[in-house]
Amino acid sequence: RHNLAYTGTTVATGEALGIVIATGMNTELGRIASLSQAAPNELSPLQHELRHIATYVTYGVVALSLVLLIIAIQADLAFKDALLFAVGFASSLIPQGLPAEVNTSLAQAAGKLSRAKALVKKLSAVETLGATHVICTDKTGTLTKNEMTVQELLIGATEYSVTGTGYEPIGKVCRDGKELGPSQVKALLEFIRVGLFASNARLLKPDKVNSQWRVLGDPTEAALMTLAAKVGLDNDSESTAMPEIRELTFDSARKRMTSIRAMRNSDTGAIAYVKGAPENVLEQSSHIMIDGVTRPLTQADRDAFLAVHTKRAKRALRNLAFATRPLSMREAKNGTIESVESGLTLLGMVSMIDPIRDAVPAAMKAAQEAHIKVNVVTGDFSLTAQAIARQAGLGDPDKDLVVITGEELALLPDEVVLRHALAGGTIFSRVNPEDKMRIVDLIKKSGHIVAVTGDGINDAPALRHANIGVAMGIAGTDVAKQAAEVILLDDSFSTMVGAIRQGRTIFVNIKKGVLSCFTSNAAELVVNVASLVLASMFGIPLAINVLQILAVDLLAELFPIAALGWDKEEGETMKQQPRDPKRHILNGRSIGDLLWCGLIIGGLSIVNYLLFFGRAGVDPASAHLPTDILYSATTITYVTIVICQLVNIIQRRSVHGFFSKYQLSNRNFWLSICLSFAIILSISYVPAVSDFFKSGPLSGLDWLFVIGAASIFLAIRELQRLLNVRTASSTAR
């Protein structure tokens, strides 16, 4: 597929005549776009969980409201009052604080991640990262710094080392640890010119804005430019002496690039300077130059060359082979790629290192301790990828990593590919976009959550198909960024692991909010059912009115539940298994706990309601019950529910209970508790507010009964927690 200009290519200069062979979705870019568009718009795990909760609540509210409406009518309430009561009760069962808590948690996490160099495009993606089971990560720029530095040379049969790091052109060429003299370096210049001429990158000197040497273009080519500068070759001077006639650009199929240059002081000859993957350049070579002498390439030469290539690749060095070929001027201008890049003279090999990012080994360890399976999916050579993965800490150090090439992947059945992907520690090398997408789809269909990193246009389909696509902010293309839900502004794997930690914390906070919301709903259910029973059997007025019920959900508990979104990580969340999307927050065990808490709070509230009449010395069933007494009685029910609910929220915040040090970690939460108390006092004592809610003031003795009820609830919950801890410890033994 040579001599093709793809859709989206920018022509910088010159002119050409072309034939359109494909348009629209039939182009290469269109093919990739169609793969991306084929990905369905699916709900995130959090959205699935919230939908599950909404379904439970909807059916439950409708059923219970109808039952209570019938009971209210049977209790001789007027139909209008009974209907109003049922509607108010239905409203009370809807967890109004939950949306605020969820959005607060996600927004807070997005803000934290932004400051930590991770830009979240879709809020629910933060929690999805926390649920990740498998990560398919790229190698270059994600695990590594994407800052290539030439470290070793193979020229003919002689090996050299190169000092210096980064793009600063300071360093020496050494042999056996000794620096080469000027005359020795001069003998290497023709070899180094290959990398200089067959590169389009540029080195940028430090300036007022940037204090470091920088690269404009491909990092691999920048490393070759840096090598040339270290031995004194100037790109402008060399290009003036040997101007470029034609360039045969790099192609992923042939894996070579050639720059055809006019010979020095000659109008009739040219030289093709070729760089590329060692296997591919070696395949096109017929001769080899050793110590300045060119001779036919033997099988022994090929074996020796490949042995050095393999040895260096195992040390995470990226290798490029250099070759040349003299050309006539006619062939230089009109020769085909096949003819120009055949019969080459092999000069040797450069080996460069892309160092591992400093934070990657620790991040890899954290990910694996969090029981997340990590795989490397790359287009690079398998041995290089394997060496980098080892340096990053991937897999068990006592076991070999599984390496599957793109060719091998095409022959493997789906179940085998899935088994390796779910096991983690697998390197998929030399893969194409379809391969990457296949791996992602297999993991998703198995019910696991998969996160994928990518930076190129070819990565867009996999980014779209993954549960969570993570694009690179520095090296990433616009297409990749558009396909992803999260963008790593520093391109670092460690930033992604930090986002996973934040995602896990978010789900814990949301779980606290959900269970806290439904605890008060369960308490209100108990109070309302008990009130209807008392009304129908003894003629006692309802223990709480509709406005007070709404005041519990929309005012008193709303702010503390929303403030749970600011809760920090407690304990070792990154030592736990990723959550199973099939295990819901509302399950048999949690619903039983909610009903138990609701029964305690509701029962204590009803007891306080009835005891209030005893202290006031009035009969609650009297037809002449004073209004102010009734208002204060319903107020003590309301206040008991709210105070017990605040105790419940605090107790649920920490796995270590009400008196944990963790309780002091969220300043906003305690400010919201103070706000809730202000609301309670306003509803009880501010005339205009109490008139609206049909509430009344409470005495000091009444408050003692409220505090007593809350203390009883707290004692029961703490005792239950201690019993659960003891049971868990016994089971662990």
Q: Would you please indicate which residues are annotated as catalytic (active-site) residues?
A: 138
| Helix, strand, or coil (residue 489) | coil
Q: Are 287 and 296 in contact (CB under 8 A)?
A: yes
Structure tokens at 540: 């006692």
CB-based contacts of 347, cutoff 8 Å, min separation 6? 155, 156, 190, 191, 194, 289, 322, 323, 324
- Angle, helix 97-115 to helix 45-74, in steps of 10 degrees: 160
Task: Report the 10 Å Cβ neighbour count for 509.
Answer: 28
The set of residues, in sequence order, having a beta carbon less than 8 Å from that of 569 and lying 6+ positions away, is 501, 504, 505, 508
Burial of residue 610, with CB atoms counted within 10 A of its CB: 0-12 exposed, 13-18 middle, 19 or more buried: middle
Give dist(CA 670, CA 335) in Å, integer: 78
- Cα–Cα dist 418/134, whole Å: 11
Quote the tokens at residue 354: 């892309």
Distance, in Å, from the CA atom of 358 to the CA atom of 681, rounded to the nearest integer, reads: 55
Q: Residue 518 burial by CB count (10 A; 0-12/13-18/19+): exposed, middle or buried?
A: buried
Closest by CA position to 473, among listed 121, 8, 108:
121
Q: Which runs of consecutive H residues, i.e. helices, occur in 231-298? A: 235-241, 278-283
The per-residue b/e assignment along 25-60, b for 16 or more CB within 10 angstroms, e otherwise, is eebbbbebbebbeebeeeebbbeebbeebeeebeeb
Chain-centre distance of CA 365, in angstroms? 16
Distance (Å, rounded) from C-alpha 488 to C-alpha 455?
A: 10
